[in-house]
Structure 1
Amino acid sequence: MTKLPTRAGLVFGALAISVLLAAASPALAQQSGPDGAPNPTASVVNEQTLLEQAPRIQGRIDIPDEKASVLIQPAGREWDYFHEVLLHWFGALVIVGTIAILGAAYLIMGRIRISAGRSGRKVHRFGAFERFSHWLTAVSFVLLGLTGLNITFGKIVLLPVIGPEAFSGLSQAAKYVHNFVSFAFVVGLVLIVALWIKDNIPRKVDVDWMKQGGGFIKSKHAPAGRFNAGEKLVFWFALGGGVAVIVSGYLLMFPFYATNIAGMQIAQVVHAVVAVLFVAVILGHIYIGTLGMEGAFEAMGTGEVDLNWAKEHHDLWLAEQLAKERSAGPAQPSATPAE
């Protein structure tokens, strides 16, 4: 009789050991390879759980640069998703959408003509230095925009077309152009702000200009000074957006001088988003100044505009110019016959 409890205990012990082995078998399977050898990369703990327990995983290094010891930075995965997925969709929708809207506007409304026709008389609008400042900013922005778009869309658009070797050389050259042309853009932006900020202060007439459709409704007259409300909006966006891309751009150009990895990621997001919006705004500005409106390009092309164009689009400014002409006398006319 004494042997029966002993045998029962052995049976229960064997069953308990079997249950423990069955529970541990998944972990043992993960830690072993197909041939039964240990798998050093396997883990019984979910990777996401590890990342939540340790937001930054870093090792120990001999050099005094602490950021170089970082092995995993989970926030970097969010930045990578933004840069490789969200930015592509956002940039494509904004830029392609803007081009589509401008194309539809041209097809529906056509080019805005000078209603009274050309008068044959010219009015001085911009001096040589003003035009130089404008074109310095404009040309540098176009170069920055093209080279910046290559950073975002080059791997998708150009790489499959021209191949990896040509794309590598082109992208390296584009990076240098982007970096060095940025200094010209800064100079140009400073100049146009210094020259025109006084003429871009919002006024009550700007509200009237918007109420009258900004000159796009032929049956209504939109009064304006030297710059209308639309041009003022472009000016202030260029100032605010320009400061944003300049500051964020130089944080990226000179990494870790003023910020850490997280700051660099934020700077890149700001730089990319503002730059895409900047491109869309300038596309509209270019359209109005070329295809969209007759006589507009002449203001920055030659510095002179037709008298009737000025009456229709900047009548308050024209009245001031003609008043100055009358006070100055016939020796210094502001409106001259067209050649």
Structure 2
Amino acid sequence: MFHVNAIRMLALFALLVCGIAGLPENVSAQQGGAVPGESLGINSDTDLWRFVRTGNAGSTQMKDELAAVMIQSEGDNYRAIRNGPLSTYGAVGVGAIIFLLAVFYMSRGRIKIDAGPSGETILRFGAIDRFAHWLMAGSFVVLAITGLNMLYGKYTLLPLIGKEAFATLTAYGKYSHNFLAFAFMVGLALSVVLWVRHNIPNKTDLQWLKMGGGLVKKGVHPPAEKFNAGQKIIFWAVTIGGISVSLSGIALLFPFQTSMFADTFAIINVIGFNLPTDFTPLQEQQLNQLWHGIVSLVMIVMIMAHIYIGSIGMEGAIDAMNTGHVDRNWANEHHSLWVEEEDQKSAKPAE
């Protein structure tokens, strides 16, 4: 039996050797980097690489569908805009408002109460108003600082404090940015509910604007309601800008879940425009980031002017949001129509 099995094994081995020897050359072991069969091997296929370069999706076994895209060429366009015009014009805007406010302060000085403090106060904002304001304002300041750090920090702060400190600071800043965004949204919603009825534009606002709001020339005090035209502009800019930046922020916090730009452009196209609506999830994120940065920078510039007027730029203004009470002479000079309304409310009926 042993001899029979041995003979069978030798015969099988001989057949295998003969079979391999009879194979054609192109099916034998790879030689010189050539790949067997009809594969291109090291040769390049123009159509294949064009398909890859232009960001087309292939197939993948990974759960992340974005992994099917090898190269997202639009990403370089996003990088060029973010590090180019967005960063440049943003820096120019912030620098310009600081320069203009400094020039205004040197030429106009602090806007004083012309009649001087009266010592008598009037309630301007209650506790809930001040809470809404400081919740929104405080969170916005942190959001602005951490956002500016993400955009400019590696050029300005990193060389000063080093890579490790900058990495730690930026990481904590990112967490603060993400979580305080919700505090800003709550403060914004409260402010809209509390103040929208006081911020409807009217003819009085036109007169206020014609007179420069009494900011340029000393002794000029145009009539104004509880919110003057300048404050109404700030209110609507913060409301519209705040809603917009909140929506783009939510899209960034929960990536690839929204199609805000495709949906918005589709609505705009109804009135005759021809904007693109076919965006990949990654392109949506890139547009969200750019829009988030643009709107945020515009809001930062406007709020810097608002902070200036409400603090060092005008005597007595900050009391409105600190204690809620303002000096009566200040109120008469800057919000005379509102003072008249408050006096009428508090007047006792004649007996």
TM-score with structure 1 setting the length: 0.80
Structure 2: which amino acid aligns with 1:98?
A: I
Q: How does 1:1-339 map to 2 (within 5 A)?
A: 55-216=54-215, 217-259=217-259, 260-327=281-348
C-alpha RMSD of the superposition: 2.3
Shift of 1:221: 2.6
Q: Deviations over 1:72-129 (max 9, x none)?
A: 1221111010112222211110111111111110011101111111111111111011
Is the Cα–Cα contact under 8 Å of residues 58 and 72 in structure 1 kept in the other structure? Answer: no
The secondary structure found in structure 2 opposite 1:264 is helix
Inter-partner Cα distance in structure 1 for 2:184 and 2:73: 35
The secondary structure found in structure 1 opposite 2:112 is coil
Inter-partner Cα distance in structure 2 for 1:71 and 1:52: 10
Q: Deviations over 1:245-304 (max 9, x none)?
A: 100011011101124111111111110000001100110000000111111001111111
Is the Cα–Cα contact under 8 Å of residues 299 and 305 in structure 1 kept in the other structure? Answer: yes
Structure 2: which amino acid aligns with 1:180?
A: F
The residue aligned with 1:33 is none
Is the Cα–Cα contact under 8 Å of residues 114 and 219 in structure 2 kept in the other structure? Answer: no
The secondary structure found in structure 2 opposite 1:292 is coil
The secondary structure found in structure 2 opposite 1:123 is strand
The residue aligned with 2:265 is none
Shift of 1:185: 0.5
The residue aligned with 1:34 is none
Q: Deviations over 1:278-334 (max 9, x none)?
A: 1001100000001111110011111111111111100000011111121379xxxxx
Structure 1: which amino acid aligns with 2:242?
A: G
Shift of 1:243: 0.6
Unaligned runs of 5+ residues in structure 1 are: 1-39, 330-339
The secondary structure found in structure 1 opposite 2:326 is strand
Is the Cα–Cα contact under 8 Å of residues 121 and 328 in structure 2 kept in the other structure? Answer: yes
Inter-partner Cα distance in structure 1 for 2:52 and 2:125: 63
Inter-partner Cα distance in structure 1 for 2:295 and 2:42: 42
Is the Cα–Cα contact under 8 Å of residues 136 and 188 in structure 2 kept in the other structure? Answer: yes
Inter-partner Cα distance in structure 2 for 1:210 and 1:44: 66
The secondary structure found in structure 2 opposite 1:103 is helix
Structure 2: which amino acid aligns with 1:179?
A: N
Inter-partner Cα distance in structure 2 for 1:309 and 1:42: 81
The residue aligned with 2:23 is none
Inter-partner Cα distance in structure 2 for 1:233 and 1:41: 64
The secondary structure found in structure 1 opposite 2:257 is coil
The residue aligned with 1:8 is none
Is the Cα–Cα contact under 8 Å of residues 136 and 184 in structure 2 kept in the other structure? Answer: yes
Unaligned runs of 5+ residues in structure 2 are: 1-40, 260-280
Inter-partner Cα distance in structure 1 for 2:132 and 2:52: 54
Inter-partner Cα distance in structure 1 for 2:322 and 2:59: 61
The secondary structure found in structure 1 opposite 2:312 is helix
Structure 1: which amino acid aligns with 2:153?
A: G
CA spacing shift, 1:62–1:121, aligned 2, 3 Å = same
Inter-partner Cα distance in structure 1 for 2:164 and 2:249: 27
TM-score with structure 2 setting the length: 0.78
Is the Cα–Cα contact under 8 Å of residues 121 and 327 in structure 2 kept in the other structure? Answer: yes
The secondary structure found in structure 2 opposite 1:305 is strand
Structure 2: which amino acid aligns with 1:218?
A: K
Structure 2: which amino acid aligns with 1:130?
A: D
Q: Deviations over 1:3-43 (max 9, x none)?
A: xxxxxxxxxxxxxxxxxxxxxxxxxxxxxxxxxxxxx9998
The secondary structure found in structure 2 opposite 1:291 is coil
Is the Cα–Cα contact under 8 Å of residues 53 and 71 in structure 2 kept in the other structure? Answer: no
